Each structure stands twice: as structure tokens, then as C-alpha cells.
Structure 1
Amino acid sequence: MSAPDEPSIRVVLADDHTLFRDGLAQLIQTDPAFQIVGQAADGDRTVQIVTALRPDILVLDVEMPGPGARAVVTGLRRTCPEVSVIVLTMHQNSRIVQELLDCGAAAYLVKNIARDQLIAALHAVYQSPRNVLLSVSRETLGGGGDPREGTPRRLSTREMEVLRLTAEAFSNSQIATRLGISEATVKRHLTNIYAKLGAVSRVDSVRKAMAAKLIHPMIDGGGGGRPRD
């Protein structure tokens, strides 16, 4: 059994820019939970390394030599379905986002996100691999309100209910019980909320909802405490 302070989340990095890849490895490993177990600079090598090492997470660039990101994600979903793929790229093309999510990517992040956001996304994908995380502009998502006003996409009544209970630190199972829906439905609503608010976690979604004045800070504590990541 591993010692408590040993890295428990194994990560492979795939990007054809060596300097960026090395910097990313150093950045991720500032969190002791993560261990970089392999690196690749092209699509073929990425598939070989992931297939051999079976990491928990693959961080994948969109543009590399060899098979494109779509082919890599599709192939790995068939051969290594337990590996969560995080796409980390400069591209904010809505078609590419949708294609890669449809292929099975667990997250689509842009390279201008902050270190804390990236680390939070890695943890979120590891802890909740069936959820989808997005960090792209509202314009990329399409139909995302008026970008001049900075307004988020409209949340449905049910999504607002889920968001408020999330802000009160209720778990997914508690939210499901309160609203009389399944836990899977709660997770789906949260995924939609993240997409509409451009959030990468529960805490991030609550912060952004407060900033947009969709919800207000709790005064009496509600469900108690801060929202769970």
C-alpha cells in the first residue's frame, strides 16, 4: 500500500512543444497528488504510451504530428476507457470542442487558464470522470448571451435550483433527494451549469454565479459550509 504522501494520480502529457510540455510537467507536479509518468510529442507515441502505462489522466494538445486529437481520443476510449482525456489547447473553435467531447474527452481547457484552474480541473476529472469540464469563452459555446455585457447563458429553473443547493454545500445525492430526481440527473444539470457559466468546478460555478448576481452569498449558512469541489 502506498504511503500517504506518494503521488496517487498518474498523468501522461502529449504536446509537440517540448518546452511547454516540460513546464507543464513541473507545474502539475507542484501538487503532490500528481505524478507525470510519461510524455509524448505525436499522436502515435501518445497512443503507445497511454496503452502501455494506463495512466489516470491524459493531457492532450489538439495539434500534433500523426493522428489528430479526434482519432487519438476515439481510439483510447475503445482501448483504454478508464483513462480520462483532458484536451488542453489554444483553439476555441466550437466545432472542435463539440467533436472532441462527442468522442469522449472529459474536459476541454484553453492554455490561458490559471495554474489553480488547471490543478482543480485535473482533480475534478479524476474524482468525477463521468462529468464534463469546459473552460472556453461564451462566444465559443454559441448563443451564450451578449458578450458585450458579459452575461452568462440563461439557466433553466431546475438548473438554478441545483445551483442554489450546490452553493449551500449539499452533495449530489442530497440535491437529488431534495429535488426528487436521480443523482445522474443532478450531475447532468451541473455539467450544463459549468458549460453555461464557463466554470470548471462546483466552487468555480458558485463564484461565477455570484459575480453574475444569479445567486447571493448565504447569510445563515443554509446547508452549511462552502460548496464541495
Structure 2
Amino acid sequence: METTHRAVRVLIADDHTLFREGIGEILTAAGGIEVVGSAHSGEDTCRKAAELHPDVVVLDVEMPGQGIRETLPQLRRVSPHSRIVVLTMHDDVVLARELLALGAGAYLVKGSTRHELLSAIHSVVVDRGPGHVILSVSQQGLDRVDNTPGELLSAREREVLGLTAEAMSNSQIARRLSIAEGTVKRHLRNIYAKLGAVSRLDAVNKAVAASLIPPPENRN
């Protein structure tokens, strides 16, 4: 393992100024960490990362502008050597699995201690291997998870995808489920992101292969 004596360069991304400043003070006081910048949205985070190439991005899940599922892959493209520590209020193992799969190196709930945050930052810098991840959720968060593949998609997303497998259009699905057509489109976008799918057919095939939905011929 190569060691270095320079400070770990960190970019803090959160839409709340007070929270960014508080995290910055914690990291600076710890020593060995340099806060090189801050960002207030997904787009701003990607711009700052492309400019600064920090060692670590401490990234909030919910910020204005583009969503976390767009921001994570973009960060990996514009600053591939940066490691990403997601810091969120969502005590959600399913979300954690998804974001770790998209490139985050650590997932911490905002109830974590400063020691856990500092440990996560230093750990992701030391071990850059793709299989090295850090997960911090509560026991309650773990208890909510049924360890079945279907937990990757919400119940509504599985409904939408199941009807998609029956060759229904967005408008037909909307009428069947009594929701807006725009809501159907949003569910499909989320499904594509979670499954890494590029089309309706691709999403259906991947979901069937992962046993998330039954094959169309087996549906009632």
C-alpha cells in the first residue's frame, strides 16, 4: 500500500450552508484533511469535482437539480480518482445498495458519529479497490429489509414493470393503476436507473432474469 503524508482533499456537497460549514469544521479540526471546496447541487458538485479533483466527495443524497442517480455516475466520469462518501438522512439499506452499486465508496446516515465519518473518509482513500465499501445504517434499517431480489424495486415499480411486460403503453398503465402518465414515466426512469436498463424490453428482460417479476407468459 502506498502511503502519503499530504492532507486528504475533500469536497463537501450539501444544499444546507450550515450543514456544509459544520462538516467542514469537523474535518478541518481532525487534522490531515483539507476542505478544498463546497457545492450546493448535483450539477455544482460535478463542476467542482471536475475542477478540483478531490480525493473524497462527501455527498448528500437530496439536493436541488439533478438526482443522486445522475450525479454519482457523472462524478465517476469527471473525476474518476475521487472516492464518494454518501451522507444522508435515509436509513435505507436498499437505497444504500443501489448507491454503492453506482459508485459510492461509503454510505453513512446523518446519525453517524464524527468518528465514523472520519473513518469512512480515510478508509475509502486508503483502499480504492472496487469491492471495498462502507455501510452504516441502523439495526432498524436492516430489519426493514427482506433479503429478496424484489427489494431492489418498490412494489409500485414492480407493478409498472409487470404491466410494461404485458406490452401496455404508458397511458394504459396509468389508467390501470389510476395514476398520472407522468408518474408512470418517472417510475420507468427510476427502474431503468436501478436495473441499468436502456429500454423497456431491456428492463423487462433484466427484471425477469433477476426474478423481480414473473415472465410475461406466467402472469395471470
What TM-score, normalized to structure 2?
0.60
- Asked if the contact 2:85–2:104 (Cα under 8 Å) also holds between the matched residues in 1, the reply is yes
Structure 2 counterpart of 1:191: none
Aligned residues: 140
- Structure 1 residue 143, shift from structure 2 partner: 5.0
- Confirm whether residue 134 of structure 1 aligns to residue 143 of structure 2: no
Cα distance, 1:138 vs structure 2: 3.4
- Tell me how far apart the structure 1 counterparts of residues 77 and 47 of structure 2 sit (CA, whole Å): 14
Partner Cα distance (1:31, 1:99) in 2: 30
One-letter amino acid of the counterpart of residue 136, structure 2:
S
Give distance in 2, aligned partners of 1:8 and 1:80.
18
Cα deviations by residue, 1:22-64 (Å, 9 ceiling, x for unpaired): 0100001112210000100111110000011000000000000
Q: Which runs of 4+ in 1 moved over 3 A?
A: none
Q: After superposition, give the CA deviation of every residue in 1:91-150 in whole Å (9 maximum; x if it has no partner).
A: 012332122111010000011111111111111111112210000123434358xxxxxx
1:77-116 aligned within 5 A: 77-116=76-115
What amino acid maps onto 1:55 in structure 2?
P
Show the counterpart of 1:41: 40
Q: Cα RMSD over matched residues?
A: 1.8
Please tell me whether Structure 1 or Structure 2 has the larger radius of gyration of its CA atoms.
Answer: 2
Amino acid at match of 1:51: A
Higher fraction of helix: 2
**1:51: which partner in 2?**
50
DSSP 3-state at the match of 1:29: helix
| Structure 2 residue ranges without an equivalent (≥5) | 148-220
Long gaps (5+) in structure 1: 145-229
Matched with 1:25 is 24
Partner AA of 1:53 in structure 2: L
Residues of 2 paired with 1:101 and 1:92: CA distance?
Answer: 14
Contact in 1 for aligned 2:93/2:137 (Cα 8 Å) = no
> What's the offset of the Cα at 1:80?
1.8
The share of aligned pairs that are identical, in percent, is 42
Alignment of 1:133-152 (within 5 A): 133-141=134-142, 142-143=145-146
Verify the 8 A CA contact 2:46 2:78 in the aligned structure 1: no
